[in-house]
Amino acid sequence: MTVDTLRSFIQAETRIDPSAQHLYHNGQLITDNSKTMEQLQISDGDMLALHVRDMRGSTGIPAPTSDSARQPPGSAQRRPGIEQDPELIRLQILGNARLRAEVSRQQPELGAALEDPERFAQLFQASYERDQRERYERQQMINRLNADPFDVEAQARIEEMIRQERVMENLQNAMEHNPEVFGRVHLLYVDVEVNGHKVKALVDSGAQATIMSPACAEACGIMRLVDKRFAGIARGVGTATIIGRVHSAQIKIGSLFLPCSFTVMEGKSVELLLGLDMLKRHQACIDLAKDKLVIQGVEIPFLGEADIPKQIEEALEEEPTVAGPGGMTIGQRSGAVSAPTGPSVSAPTSGPRPSQGPAAVSAPAQPSFPEEHIQQLMALGASRERAIQALRQTGGNVEYAAASIFED
């Protein structure tokens, strides 16, 4: 029996038009009406969920299709006012193992309620109301600011709000189209030996001199060679005490033995830093395509992230952060994005926009496509970014977008 035939049987028994029938198996939306039950791996006794939608997009109560396709116990009707159906979202999460794991990790309370339709709907309702309340308060503040166009302080606040909205819009565009810029980039380290002592050296073409810490100089047995006449204070981003200079010592890097001079300096978190003086003297090339340091034709691979000294990674983890969209945090120095720590479910809404004028502030831009269309495409296994891209490519036509995703 094909899916199309099953839809006809459902129509005969329940008078539900096939176009309003959304059938789910294991949380996955069934879209191909030409396939048989065997092809979809639906066997006798399996449960199918029927989600009923009318032509205006309103959602009814999931209805049973037959004895083998029963309504899940405790299924709840959509709460009044919610534009997304909690039960539909719950089914989509249950049918996507990756999405379910992500929800459980980022939103533990919501993840724990996935098997309880009533509890899930309550949490979704509470989140929706919270989001609505925040939007209402923001709209009220915008209206108050727009009430007196000659209030200098209000105009200054309006200007700052406009600037912040542009900043957030720029951030969201970057996260959607260039997510790689928010990845953490680890520093370039190579394995070297100084006087037989193995050291992980940081390659830094932005540093003028090659620097070594006093502890590393002691471990390498060259502290006795420090010329303290070169002591002083190094100034740049902060200050550091220069103990002195080792004029010449042999360094092994790869298969090469090279002469090198070191400035012994306190206050640095790295043991050894190969600066521009060392790199230029030996005509070194930082080849990022190969991920290697090339010196005189010898290629020295950079260390992987797991081999980088831990104190450097700990320093990056302790960096200050700023708030991003969706509860995420972004490192101020590295730009690395961290997932939100608290539960948060958002549902798009629509409402009146404030009056437009020379000093008027508009409400935050809403998604250009209906959320339910995005969720339907995500139920097909596409990521949110891919679903939005498919809708954009097909002018918002969800059926053509689904076909585009199936062709991937």
Hey, which residues are catalytic here? 204
Q: What distance in Å separates the CA atoms of residue 328 and residue 346, rounded to the nearest whole number?
A: 14
∠ CA 187-189-193, rounded to 5°: 160
- Alpha-helical regions (H) of 234-358: 276-281, 310-317
Q: What distance in Å separates the CA atoms of residue 32 and residue 34, rounded to the nearest whole number?
A: 6
Q: What distance in Å separates the CA atoms of residue 118 and residue 124, rounded to the nearest whole number?
A: 10
CA neighbor of 94 nearest in space, from 75, 68, 77 = 75
Output the six-digit token pair for 59.
């959602």
Burial of 271 (0-12, 13-18, 19+ CB in 10 A): buried
Q: How many CA atoms lie within 13 A of 379 on its CB side?
A: 23
Question: Which H or E run contains 241?
Answer: strand 238-253
Q: Which residues contact 316 (CB under 8 A, 6 or more apart)?
A: 184, 331, 333, 334, 336
Residue 356: count of CB within 10 angstroms of its CB:
9
240 bridge partner residues:
234
Q: What distance in Å separates the CA atoms of residue 378 and residue 50, rounded to the nearest whole number?
A: 18
Owner of token pair 């029963």: 70
Rg (CA), the chain: 31
Output the six-digit token pair for 319.
């960096």
